[in-house]
Amino acid sequence: METRTVRVVVNGTAYEREVEPRRMLGDFLRHDLDLTGTHYGCEHGVCGACTVLIDGRTARACLTLAAQMDGHTLTTVEGLAGADGTLNALQKAFAECHALQCGFCTPGMLMTLTELLNETDSPTEAEIREAITGNLCRCTGYQPIVAAALLAAQRIREQRAAAPAAQATE
Amino acid sequence: MDISDLKGAAAGDMRYIGKRVARTEDSKLLKGQGSYVDDVHLPNMLQAAVLRSPHAHAKIVSIDCTAARALNGVHAVYTHADLSGRARGRAPSMLPNPAIRFERTQELLASTEVTFAGEAVAFVVADTRYIAEDACGLIEVEYDTLPAVADCRDGLLPDSPLCHTDAKDNIVAHIEMGFGDIDAAFTDAPHVVEETYWQNRGSAHPMETRGYIAEYHPTNGELTVWSSGQAPHHEKKNLVELLEWDAEKLRVLMNDVGGGFGPKLPFYPEEGLVAIAAVALKRPVKWIEDRREHFLSVTQERDQWWTVRMALDTDGKIRGVKLEMVHDNGAFLPWGIITPYISITTTPGPYVIPAMGAKLDVVYTNKCATSPVRGAGRPQAVFAMERILDKAARALGMDRAELRWRNLIQPEQMPYDAGFIYRDGSPLRYDSGDYPACQKAALERANYTGFAERKAKARSEGRFVGIGMASFVEGTGMGPFEGATVRVQANGRVVVITGASPQGQGHKTTFAQICAEQLNVPLETIDVITGDTGGISMGVGTFASRVTVNAGNSVYIAAQAVRDKMFTLAAHLWKCATDDLVLIDGHVARRSGVEQRFSYAQLAKISQGMPGFTMPAGLTAGLEETKYFSPAQSTYCNGTAVVELEVDRETGHISILNYVMAHDSGKLINPMIVDGQVIGSVAHGIGNATLEWMQYDENAQPTTTNFGEYLLPMATDVPNVDVVHLETPSPLNPLGVKGAGEGGTIPAAAAIIAAIEDALSEYGVEFTEAPLVPQRVFEKLKAAGAYAR
């Protein structure tokens, strides 16, 4: 069997694996690295449940080949909480706003919104809705997800305002 | 932004019930630590793939698996010829009904005839899913194609092709039912309105597809099956029958499940196939469905054709309603004829209807089977009734809200016999509810009286805005029962075990709230176990908005029994009366100033007895009780939706401006969770009204088999929903609860499409279909001359 070598950093941990050229990134994460938080909902790039960050940008793990990831840095849902398991601001807001029910689309939602909140600290409701059009949710009707993103953005702004010196030294 | 502005939340001094308690389920799901079926990785596990029929109807001439079996990494290829015993037969029949003339359920693998595109023909087990799919491509099946039944109306014609070649016709069931003197109602009626409606509901499309794992333990003969389903005990029952297995050695587990909404409830062939393969190969076998397979093989609701005639008096009072409905059943009956039956019996809604006459034809077609999808046939019924009321209002020149108002069942008429026999076999008797208050609340919140002014203003700006409304009554919380075990463990923690497994509804939080309230302990000390047939001997499952009524009340009763047991034990130990005892934060204490306390942990240890010592008289073993609550009949939830929207006349595109959902599901245990259920189900209804259309061509070939062709609502398609809660407690169960998971979906299409019609009222176009997609709005406007210069 022909294989390719993939050297990749996922959530801060370096991995090296031999993969079949046709192996999809989602299968690689889920089955080879046992990072099962990234979900497959459609396997044709529409539902967004498999969204991960590749070098900080969102991508579909169901449409990306694992072999393409050689030399790249990935973040998955498992990389969002603190090392001690503490939920980050976005995750906390999701719980407070009841922004998840079955939880299956949630990892992809979180990754898309992570990218948005990295890009803008004051997204409007319309911008949030637009940002998550590539993530389907069948449970929540999106309303609490939007509420959670607004709440998280507000908290992140407040944190930054409260600790400007610390941020400047980073 | 609040999820909703909660109205009418429970008062009183309750600590947990009625409170917006954060969910205990969330933390692990937010960290990617859920345990959905595809997350379960067992050592030595094999992966499976299914070869499906590409034809809607064909005879199987031959199947050649030689090349597939020879492929490196393939462990087994199954066709019908490779099955044995009971597994060669058809899936167990669910919900038999004497009205069914020709009962037909699916084979695990088709033997001689395929009857829908997507029917399973072969099952491949290999080292990886990739290899299993490669092998599917190597199986050669020779088919002799047959004419297909594509349109359910055509299926009734005498010269129609047959869906099943061994049947004499395509009629699953013909049912006539009614009440009152329907002929008299129409004789000399001052007004009669009539219309024909077409409705198509697709599938539920939970974001997690189906999936199953089976593991056989040769050392003790046990078989464990993990499933992404809605009813573990139901699945177990089917597997026990098909595999001819010892029920004591079969366990079904449902860990986290990524949504269900109905179609994960029936039995599917793959459940049996993974188990058969795991036993034969003595290795765990996993099958995970892909989305295309979900489109092809998971139950839908699809087409219903309705003809509705309504007779009214001059004052707008309904005299009677005649219904004729044809239901596109698909090729099999995985869940009886429940969906169309519910459709018919939902039509009376909140209105006084003295007489009804209904004729229902359920028709086999060469398509995927149908079974309940969130709302379960009710959205179609509400569409038929509410759209004919809109038409009647026009005919009478009466305001739409006023016409409805004049026909509403009044609260003092409760309990109210609507006339039909409901699906649970008992008379359709509404137990409680204040329908006028609900309609009034919704209209007021939507500022209905100010709408004419808003419409005129918008029109002066060249914009087309409209308002629509629809109300429903929904039978929820039906039996037969659900059960719960409540147990105080020796470490003081409390375990609640129930057979009602969740798919995202927050059962664990809701049940913990109910239990915590009875035992007066912090929520954090309660563990709720669901989705394990090893945990409790009997269960029915999560569907039909029945769990809080059935399982919730079981938890309530079982927790009270455990509390009483602790009192009895403590009273025995202290030689005091039980009414001298009180529960304080995980302890039983004395009321009468005596400083004595037992922790629950101490009592639990004592209750387990000492080896060789006799239990004190009147005490039974353990701080544990199992109770099964069986409701006497369904309890009826109700609601009213009022939708204001704008239509882009040039494209037919709609933008929802305001969506009010007044909803009465009885006592709210956790208003945050109920809001989530209502808002989510509204979104589902918006999809049904404007986007979701499961299409087949004239040969019954499905033509919408991915999310590019079949559209689910996106975040930009749904508005913020304004939920207004009314709380009329059900008199039929101790908690006073009713179902809440489907109400938002039920009136959505009727209200939205009424609003579109109202927005375009100056063109006189009428919309009689759901979904109503933009191109159809455009076509109707064009035909009405809207674009003529």
Question: Is the Cα torsion angle B722, B726, B731, B736 positive or negative in sign?
Answer: positive
CA Rg value for chain B: 28
CA distance B725 to chain A (A): 17
Beta-carbon separation of A38 and B259 below 8 A: no
The whole-number average pLDDT for the span B489-500 is 95
Calpha distance B350→B640 (Å, rounded): 10
Quick check: A88 contacting B, CB < 8 Å?
A: no
**For residue B152, which of B171, B178, B124, B177 has the smallest C-alpha distance?**
B171
Is the separation of the CB atoms in B638 and B747 below 8 Å?
A: no
Q: What is the pTM of this model?
A: 0.96
CA distance B675 to chain A (A): 9
Interface test with B, best of A104, A106, A116, A129 (most B CBs within 10 A): A104
Quick check: A22 contacting B, CB < 8 Å?
A: yes
Is the separation of the CB atoms in B226 and B213 below 8 Å?
A: yes
Beta-carbon separation of B676 and A101 below 8 A: yes
Interface test with A, best of B31, B658, B706 (most A CBs within 10 A): B31
Give the rounded distance of the alpha carbon of B427 from its chain centre: 22
Beta-carbon separation of A35 and B1 below 8 A: no
Domains of chain B: which residue ranges? 37-146+211-257+264-285, 377-476+633-783, 482-629
Mean pLDDT of chain A: 95
The three-class DSSP label of residue B108 is coil
Strand partners, B192: B311
Strand partners, B253: B226, B532
Calpha distance B554→B511 (Å, rounded): 10
**Which tokens go with B488?**
């105080």
Is the separation of the CB atoms in B728 and B10 below 8 Å?
A: no
CA distance B129 to chain A (A): 10
**For residue B97, which of B15, B177, B172 has the smallest C-alpha distance?**
B172
**Which tokens go with B217?**
């333990």
Q: B37-146+211-257+264-285, which class in CATH? A: alpha beta
Is the separation of the CB atoms in B725 and B8 below 8 Å?
A: yes
CA distance B623 to chain A (A): 32
Beta-carbon separation of A40 and B706 below 8 A: no
The whole-number average pLDDT for the span B162-180 is 97
pLDDT in tens, A50-104: 999 999 999 999 999 999 999 999 999 999 999 999 999 999 999 999 999 999 9
pLDDT of B173 over the 80 cut: yes
Calpha distance B737→B511 (Å, rounded): 13
User: Which residues from A are below 8 Å from B205, CB to CB?
Assistant: 138
Quick check: A65 contacting B, CB < 8 Å?
A: no
pLDDT of A165 over the 70 cut: no
- The chain A residue lying nearest B684, using CA atoms, is A138
pLDDT of B2 over the 50 cut: no
User: Which residues from A are below 8 Å from B681, CB to CB?
Assistant: 141
Tell me how crowded residue B93 is: count the other CB atoms within 10 A of its CB: 14
pLDDT of B423 over the 80 cut: no
The whole-number average pLDDT for the span B355-365 is 98
pLDDT in tens, A92-148: 999 999 999 999 999 999 999 999 999 999 999 999 999 999 999 999 999 999 999
Beta-carbon separation of B676 and A128 below 8 A: no
Given pLDDT bands bounded at 50, 70 and 90, which one contains residue B611?
Answer: confident
Calpha distance B290→B129 (Å, rounded): 11
- The chain A residue lying nearest B260, using CA atoms, is A102
Given pLDDT bands bounded at 50, 70 and 90, which one contains residue B13?
Answer: low
pLDDT of B549 over the 80 cut: yes
Give pLDDT, residue B578.
93
State the DSSP code for B35: -
CB contact burial B269-287 (16+ within 10 A = b; e otherwise):
bbbbbbbbbbbbeebbbbb
Question: Residue A165: what are its φ and ψ, rounded to 5°?
Answer: -65, -45
User: Where are any strands of DSSP class E within chain A?
Assistant: 4-10, 13-19, 51-54, 57-60, 73-75
Beta-carbon separation of A80 and B31 below 8 A: yes
Calpha distance B213→B278 (Å, rounded): 9
Calpha distance B722→B1 (Å, rounded): 11
The domain B377-476+633-783 is placed in CATH, from the list 3.30.365.10, 3.30.950.10, 1.10.3720.10, 3.40.50.2300, at: 3.30.365.10
Calpha distance B555→A151 (Å, rounded): 35
Q: What is the share, in percent, of chain B residues with pLDDT greater than 70?
A: 98
Beta-carbon separation of B675 and A98 below 8 A: yes
Is the separation of the CB atoms in B429 and B415 below 8 Å?
A: yes
Higher pLDDT, A170 or A154: A154
pLDDT of B27 over the 60 cut: yes
Is the separation of the CB atoms in B734 and B654 below 8 Å?
A: no
CA distance A23 to chain B (A): 9
State the DSSP code for B762: G
Quick check: A98 contacting B, CB < 8 Å?
A: yes
User: Which residues from B are below 8 Å from A97, CB to CB?
Assistant: 3
Beta-carbon separation of A129 and B716 below 8 A: yes
> From residue B604, how far is each of B484, B563, B609, B627 by CA, in Å?
18, 12, 9, 19
Phi-psi region of B406 (alpha: psi -120 to 50; beta: other; left: phi over 0): alpha
Given pLDDT bands bounded at 50, 70 and 90, which one contains residue B690?
Answer: very high
Q: Structural domains in chain A?
A: 4-79 (3.10.20.30), 89-162 (1.10.150.120)
Interface test with B, best of A91, A102, A140 (most B CBs within 10 A): A102
User: Which residues from A are below 8 Å from B256, CB to CB?
Assistant: 102-103
The three-class DSSP label of residue B712 is coil
- The chain A residue lying nearest B716, using CA atoms, is A129
Interface test with B, best of A10, A23, A138 (most B CBs within 10 A): A138
Is the separation of the CB atoms in B615 and B623 below 8 Å?
A: no
The whole-number average pLDDT for the span B349-370 is 98
pLDDT in tens, B52-68: 999 999 999 999 999 99
Give pLDDT, residue B321.
98
B377-476+633-783 and B482-629: same fold? yes
Tell me how crowded residue B188 is: count the other CB atoms within 10 A of its CB: 8
Give pLDDT, residue B595.
87
First to last CA, chain A: 47
* One-letter identity of residue A65: L
CA distance B680 to chain A (A): 4
The answer for residues whose C-beta is within 8 angstroms of residue A152's C-beta and 6 or more apart is A89, A90, A92, A93, A113, A117
Calpha distance B661→B644 (Å, rounded): 12
Cα dihedral B273, B277, B280, B285 in deg (nearest 10): -140
Given pLDDT bands bounded at 50, 70 and 90, which one contains residue B332?
Answer: very high
**For residue A49, which of B762, B198, B259 has the smallest C-alpha distance?**
B259
Is the separation of the CB atoms in B3 and A147 below 8 Å?
A: yes
Element (H, E) at B557: helix B553-574
* Strand arrangement of the beta sheet that strand B171-179 belongs to: B171-179, B356-364, B318-330, B302-312, B191-201, B769-770
Report ipTM for this prediction.
Answer: 0.97
User: Rounded to the nearest 5 degrees, what angle is found at the Cα of B363, between the Cα atoms of B361 and B369?
Assistant: 130
Given pLDDT bands bounded at 50, 70 and 90, which one contains residue A167?
Answer: low
The answer for residues whose C-beta is within 8 angstroms of residue B558's C-beta and 6 or more apart is B484, B485, B486, B496, B625, B626, B627
pLDDT of B514 over the 90 cut: yes
**Which tokens go with B275?**
């188990």
CB contact burial B7-38 (16+ within 10 A = b; e otherwise):
eeebeeeeebbbbbbbbbbbbebbbbbbebbb
Beta-carbon separation of A78 and B682 below 8 A: no
Calpha distance B735→B541 (Å, rounded): 19
Give pLDDT, residue B166.
97
**Which tokens go with B612?**
């060789």
Calpha distance B10→B30 (Å, rounded): 30
Given pLDDT bands bounded at 50, 70 and 90, which one contains residue A166?
Answer: low
Calpha distance B477→B514 (Å, rounded): 17
- How long is chain B? 789
Given pLDDT bands bounded at 50, 70 and 90, which one contains residue B8?
Answer: very low
Is the separation of the CB atoms in B534 and B256 below 8 Å?
A: no
Is the separation of the CB atoms in B727 and B10 below 8 Å?
A: yes
Beta-carbon separation of B673 and A98 below 8 A: yes
CATH topology of domain B482-629: Aldehyde Oxidoreductase; domain 4 (3.30.365)
Give pLDDT, residue B425.
75
Is the separation of the CB atoms in A21 and A89 below 8 Å?
A: no
Calpha distance A26→A28 (Å, rounded): 5
* One-letter identity of residue A160: R
Beta strand pairing status for B285-288 and B211-217? Answer: antiparallel
Calpha distance B103→B107 (Å, rounded): 13
The whole-number average pLDDT for the span B190-208 is 97
CA Rg value for chain A: 17
- The chain A residue lying nearest B292, using CA atoms, is A42
Element (H, E) at B401: helix B400-407
Whether the upstream peptide bond of residue B771 has omega within 30° of 0, thus cis, is: yes
Beta strand pairing status for A13-19 and A4-10? Answer: antiparallel
Give pLDDT, residue B620.
87
Given pLDDT bands bounded at 50, 70 and 90, which one contains residue B613?
Answer: confident
**For residue B3, which of B658, B685, B720 has the smallest C-alpha distance?**
B720
- The chain A residue lying nearest B712, using CA atoms, is A136
